[in-house]
Amino acid sequence: MFQTIGIFGKYRGNQCWTHIETLIEFLLSKSCSVYLDKPSCKKFPTHPQAPLMERDELQQKIDLAIMVGGDGTFLDVARSIADGDVPILGINLGRLGFLTDISPDDMIETMEEVLSGVYQEERRNILKVTIYENNELVFEERAINDVVIHKTDSPRMIEFETIVDGRFLNSQRSDGMIISTPTGSTAYALSAGGPILDPKLDAISLVSINPHTMSTRPYVVNGDSEIELRAHEYCEKTAQIICDGQITHNISPDHRTIVKRNPHYLRLLHPKNHDHFELLRAKLHWGDKLS
């Protein structure tokens, strides 16, 4: 079912090279065409049958993306290729990941099954954030986990308004707020006291960070909602927008930030026996006996 495969690696270190070499040889033995992502694999030893390719060109050419690394690398890759409607599969090199859920020991067996059409596929919501300054677009990005309005290095809290579908929700003073997909509900939003959302839900959660009132609570809105953030006048140079903890843009009272569901979904592939509840139990240690 998949014939043209793109492989993406970690940006730092060469710990994924051995696994990438194994993947290349396996895929070539299955008569697949293989390409390497140039930004993340530029230090990989040259392979005559697996050329490097720039990511913009790569996402238009491949019908499957394989990411070898951790959840952080997965987020970077997924953001950049999601609009190409390319399914992505994660080989996990670190601790058990929510997104990269295939161990290197099971990599070849899983790939045998995937190439035979035996796998699970999920379509998950992605967020799109646009920032306008005096009605001019100055920033646009996607987020797999979350879009966060956050204070900068200043110790002061920030004050901002939240508007949902054109209706005023609230004004708050806090360290910020996390606007999260169900995928991101087990990331930063969980640390801030937000709810765990099933990844199949069409929903967006709003979770305040250290709000200056006990009455502020997490709030969940429909996935079709458009969320607007407006920083107050004393937020000059003290607030920023952060996508997946990786991409930032400073904002001021002159900016309007709009967050809504991206038109394209994340196509996430899992092994045939994938169980999200089992993953939650393992990551969050549910049911562990107290010593």
Name the residues annotated as catalytic.
Answer: 71
- Integer angstrom CA distances of residue 243 from 76, 130, 148, 188: 10, 11, 7, 11
Crossing angle of the two packed helices 17-29 and 107-115, in degrees rounded to 10: 30
Residue holding tokens 């394209």? 264
Do 68 and 40 form a contact (C-beta atoms < 8 A)?
A: no
Nearest residue to 52 via CA among 61, 41, 67: 41
DSSP 8-state code for residue 199: T
Phi, psi dihedrals of residue 141, rounded to the nearest 5°:
-160, 165
Encoded tokens for 280: 């939650």
- Integer angstrom CA distances of residue 212 from 25, 137, 209, 227: 56, 31, 9, 21
Question: What size, in residues, is the chain?
Answer: 291
In the structure, how many helices (H) and strands (E) does the chain have?
7, 19
